[in-house]
Amino acid sequence: MTKTLLIKNATVVVTMNDTREEIKNGAVFIRNNIIEQVGNTADLPQAADEIIDATNHVVLPGLINTHHHMYQSLTRAIPAAQDGELFNWLTNLYPIWAGLTPEMIKVSTLTAMAELILSGCTTSSDHLYIYPNKTRLDDSLEAAQQIGMRFHGARGAMSVGQSKGGLPPDRVVEDEQDILRDTQRLIETYHDHSRHAMQRIVVAPCSPFSVSRDLMREAASMARSYKVSLHTHLAENVNDIAYSREKFNMTPAEYAEDCGWVGHDVWHAHCVQLDDHGIDLFARTGTGVAHCPCSNMRLASGIAPIRKMIDAGVPVGLGVDGSASNDGAHMLGEVRQAMLLQRVGFGPDAMTARQALEIATLGGARVLNRDDIGALKPGMSADVAMFRLDQIGFAGALHDPVAALVFCTPANVSYSVINGRVVVRDGQFTTIDLGSVIERHNALAFELANAS
Ligand SMILES: [Zn+2]
């Protein structure tokens, strides 16, 4: 039995199709989980099983978040970690994270996903790299299914503790054979290769300063044998560059290439300090970058040369990063910061509102190695975000409603459709009771902080 959904009368539908068409008085017709037609309301079918009236709305392809650590929602604004750079910040947080439990992973993932979905995001990756107290990536996957979000679960890992010259304390690192075994189990149990997949697994050792060269290489060969993607942190700040120079006598980009970590199936978070050789290498090989402007500002890591990367042909997506280094994980807010930060670094024409939206949609899809999300056109997965224009934040900005979404105060969605299912209706979740999730999350956050 098929189910149809019609979104009609939109002020504008932003398609992100090949000509970047924006359709006034637009409509989207969805059958089951796939977009069947996009066009003027008058030209589309008038009947459907469910009809959403999008009068006074901008309709966007669901935004795509390419980097996050959702468990960190439990440790936002921790006093001891408010004002440090990356390595100092991590050192203050590792002992707290050592107390994470399976319930904490699940509830924090639900919380982080709820915040993302309300901010226009419909697909997210999550990089979970710390597994104390019998926590598993399965806990995150369960949360994604419950809330109904399209999800790329990245099996992170740390194996080089302080006693071996790494940054994390020894008690939070894992044995490398255990990491590979568990990663293989997750791929075989959960990874869905098919088009419109709701659930994929990613192989994702945490960073060059927390795993060995052997693990980087073995992870790459495992990912390729199963045709799944690879993800890690790279070239985040100057200390990260210094570590790479001292430990490997290479730049981070050279190290990535040496370990087999370049290609269309690889994306690296941050790359704030990626040099010209690295940009050229990433462009030639189709290696992706997850740009995380708020986190980069929060930790004073610098301004990633995104304009330069895009001009060179590097695939760039957007990431809110973990909630402990971007305490407000708002996807549309991140689009705004991406635009503003490029201007701070490289001038007022370094990025337009529409270019920033393109990074968060088409860019994210490319970085996650998908051709079925990031645009509203026939044959794509039915992932749609809708924003009301008649709210205070947009008053006076309706000359250009699409740019208004990015220039004005970041708004929450009134509707979110993910894989054809209405997950948010009139600003309310249809899949979870948000109030009780927040209440439990807050109790667990205090429990975690007090235990350390
Ligand atoms: Zn990160």
Alpha carbon distance 270, 304 (integer Å) = 7
Alpha carbon distance 86, 96 (integer Å) = 16
Distance 153 CA to ligand 1 centre (A): 14
Q: Which tokens is 436 given?
A: 């009780």
Distance 39 CA to ligand 1 centre (A): 38
Distance 128 CA to ligand 1 centre (A): 9
Distance 382 CA to ligand 1 centre (A): 28
Alpha carbon distance 299, 296 (integer Å) = 5
Distance 45 CA to ligand 1 centre (A): 44
Residue 280, C-beta contacts closer than 8 angstroms, at least 6 positions apart? 312
Distance 296 CA to ligand 1 centre (A): 10
Mapped to the 3 state alphabet, what secondary structure does the chain carry? CCCEEEEEEEEEEECCCCCCCEEEEEEEEEECCEEEEEEEHHHCCCCCCEEEECCCEEEEECEEECCCCHHHHHHCCCHHHCCCCHHHHHHHHHHHHCCCCHHHHHHHHHHHHHHHHHCCEEEEEEEECCCCCCCCHHHHHHHHHHHCCEEEEEEEECCCCHHHCCCCCHHHCCCHHHHHHHHHHHHHHHCCCCCCCCEEEEEEECCCCCCCHHHHHHHHHHHHHHCCEEEEEECCCHHHHHHHHHHHCCCHHHHHHHCCCCCCCEEEEECCCCCHHHHHHHHHHCCEEEECHHHHHHCCCCCCCHHHHHHHCCCEEECCCCCCCCCCCCHHHHHHHHHHHHHHHHCCCCCCHHHHHHHHHHHHHHHCCCCCCCCCCCCCECCEEEEECCCHHHCCCCCCHHHHHHHCCCCCCCEEEECCEEEEECCEECCCCHHHHHHHHHHHHHHHHHHC
User: What is the C-alpha end-to-end distance of the chain, expressed in Å?
Assistant: 53
In contact, 414 and 37? CB cutoff 8 Å = no
Neighbours of 399 (CB within 10 A): 7
The model carries a pTM of 0.98
Q: What does the pLDDT read at residue 208?
A: 86
Distance 31 CA to ligand 1 centre (A): 36
Q: At what angle do helices 434-451 and 86-97 cross, to 10 degrees?
A: 100
Q: What does the pLDDT read at residue 84?
A: 86
In contact, 27 and 44? CB cutoff 8 Å = yes
Q: At what angle do helices 238-248 and 86-97 cross, to 10 degrees?
A: 90
Write the burial class of residue 269 (CB in 10 Å: 0-12 exposed, 13-18 middle, 19+ buried): buried
Distance 233 CA to ligand 1 centre (A): 6
Q: What does the pLDDT read at residue 86?
A: 84
Distance of CA 405 to CAs 61, 85, 106, 309, 410, Å? 13, 31, 31, 24, 7
In contact, 187 and 199? CB cutoff 8 Å = no
Q: What does the pLDDT read at residue 324?
A: 85
Q: Whats the size of the chain, residue-wise? A: 452
Distance 32 CA to ligand 1 centre (A): 34
Write the burial class of residue 100 (CB in 10 Å: 0-12 exposed, 13-18 middle, 19+ buried): buried
Distance 284 CA to ligand 1 centre (A): 24
- pLDDT, one tens digit for every residue, the chain (452 residues): 789 999 999 999 999 999 999 999 999 999 999 999 999 999 999 999 999 999 999 999 999 999 999 999 999 999 989 998 888 888 999 999 999 999 999 999 999 999 999 999 999 999 999 999 999 999 999 999 999 999 999 999 999 999 998 889 999 999 999 999 999 999 999 999 999 999 999 999 999 888 999 999 999 999 999 999 999 999 999 998 999 999 999 999 999 999 999 999 999 999 999 999 999 999 999 999 999 999 999 999 999 999 999 999 999 999 999 988 999 999 999 999 999 999 999 999 999 999 999 999 999 999 999 999 999 999 999 999 999 999 999 999 999 999 999 999 999 999 999 999 999 999 999 999 999 999 999 999 999 999 87
Distance 350 CA to ligand 1 centre (A): 25
Distance 136 CA to ligand 1 centre (A): 18
Q: What does the pLDDT read at residue 128?
A: 97
In contact, 318 and 291? CB cutoff 8 Å = yes
Distance 276 CA to ligand 1 centre (A): 22
Distance 429 CA to ligand 1 centre (A): 27
